[in-house]
Chain A
Amino acid sequence: MQDMFRFGTRLLVAATALLLVQTASAAQGSRSVIEGSKAYGLDSCVEPTPLMRKKHYAFLKHDRDITVHQGIRTVKHSLAGCVDCHAAKDDTGKYVPVTDEGQFCQSCHEYAGVELPCFSCHSATPTQATKAGD
């Protein structure tokens, strides 16, 4: 019984160590922002990168209520802000949806195996309404 417990503890320690190494290398290593997006030219997101990686959904969930119910549009964590900054432009100057294969949101969610339901309702590119006569 005790042996099993020890083994379990070792496994946990090893797994934690592996996770830490991975997180560290991800934070320092290759950048995941997409070339051709505004974010590519910036040093950091609205919060430090490791924090954004871990908590972006919580930030968004909190601020969405403030925007919908109180009408505040200057929140720090807005999905429209994410899209505006992270959507890349293709060769023709058109925005590529952040949900397209290999794009910022999609690639990481694909890797992590997490659904990305924001964009079933929200626009995956920055858009503007066409005014009369356009």
Chain B
Amino acid sequence: MSDKIDQKRREFVSVAGLAAAATVVAPGVFLQATAEAEPRSEAVTGKVRYGMLIDTNKCVDGCTDCVTACERENGLDLLKMPEGADPEEWDRQRPRWIRKVKVKDRLTGKVTTLPMMCQHCEFPPCQDVCPTGASFRRADGIVMVDRHICIGCRYCMMACPYKARSFIHEDIDEKLTVAPRGKGCVESCNLCVHRRDNGETTTACQEACKEGAILFGDLNDPNSEISQALRQQNNTELRADLKLNTGVRYRGI
């Protein structure tokens, strides 16, 4: 089940992968869009790596359409504040997969607003610290939690540099079939994994963004829209110094 690979091997493999990507120019013919969305019947592979490119120049201050769409898609809007809870505390601790964050350049005073979610690292710190193997990276690059074996220790929440994970503190009455959720487990953005497995090509947040600031796609396919966009214009990883090789990239910061 767990694909434990030591760091050196990982580095070697990733370097080899880069070399391969540089030499192979026109693959991906077989990966082109299947006309009808069908549930996945074969295991995911590393041929695909899902990721996102977020253009912060297009992201509008005060708009929360992506957050709302995410919450609707993944059943987060069904959560209710527990009776007798402190509203402030609830607001601070309630599960969120996307947060709107504002960053300000101290020198120039330029304010940028951006949606922040799980960055789907190639080397996820959450996976490194997980004592049970519940935090894992799926072969197609999606970092997620296997809640069947999550013990709710929250080490991953501490380890994540992006504050991307949430904890479910209370029993939950209403949940969606596509997004199981229960007391005592950690969760975060999974790039709408149920959509991935049902052959859909978008995420809820991408669909919701009227400005077209979010682009989702396959980073391994050089012909995909996202790969082309990443090649054409400058973009950056958040906390690139950590060398996590994130699957979510930002433009304009």
Residues of A near any B CB (own CB < 8 A) = 64-66, 68-74, 80, 83, 120-123, 126-132
Contact = CB atoms under 8 A, between A and B. Distances in A.
Contacts of B182: 120-121
B163 interface: no
Contacts of A71: 40, 43-44, 138, 140, 193, 196-197
Interface in B193-252: 193-194, 196-198, 208
Interface residues of B, number: 39
Contact of B177 (A66, A70, A80, A132): A80
B1 A69 contact: yes
Contacts of B147: 121
B61 interface: no
Given A65-B1, A71-B193, A71-B197, A123 B175 contact: yes
A128 to B, nearest CB: 7
Contacts of A120: 171, 182-183
27 contacts: A64-B148, A65-B148, A66-B43, A68-B144, A68-B146, A69-B138, A70-B43, A71-B40, A71-B44, A71-B193, A72-B41, A72-B42, A72-B197, A73-B198, A80-B177, A120-B182, A120-B183, A121-B180, A121-B181, A122-B180, A123-B180, A126-B177, A127-B177, A128-B177, A129-B179, A131-B72, A132-B69
Contacts of A64: 148
Contact of A83 (B40, B75, B138, B177): B177
A60 to B, nearest CB: 10
Given A69-B146, A80-B177, 18 more contacts: A65-B1, A65-B146, A69-B138, A71-B43, A71-B140, A72-B42, A72-B43, A73-B39, A74-B40, A74-B41, A120-B182, A121-B180, A127-B176, A127-B177, A128-B176, A129-B72, A129-B74, A129-B176
A65 B2 CA distance: 11
Contacts of B198: 73
Contacts of A66: 43
B197 A132 contact: no
A123 B75 CA distance: 11
Contacts of A130: 72
Contacts, number: 75
Contacts of A127: 175-177
Interface in B126-182: 136, 138-140, 144, 146-148, 171-172, 174-182
Interface in B11-30: none
B178 A73 contact: no
A6 B218 CA distance: 70
Q: Which 9 A-B pairs have the closest CB atoms?
A: A121-B182, A70-B43, A73-B39, A71-B44, A74-B41, A121-B180, A120-B182, A122-B180, A73-B197
A12 B177 CA distance: 44
A47 B72 CA distance: 35
A85 to B, nearest CB: 13
A124 to B, nearest CB: 9
Contacts of B144: 68
A121 B147 CA distance: 9
B73 interface: yes
A49 to B, nearest CB: 24
B52 interface: no
B176 A121 contact: no
A130 B73 CA distance: 7
B213 to A, nearest CB: 17
B185 interface: yes
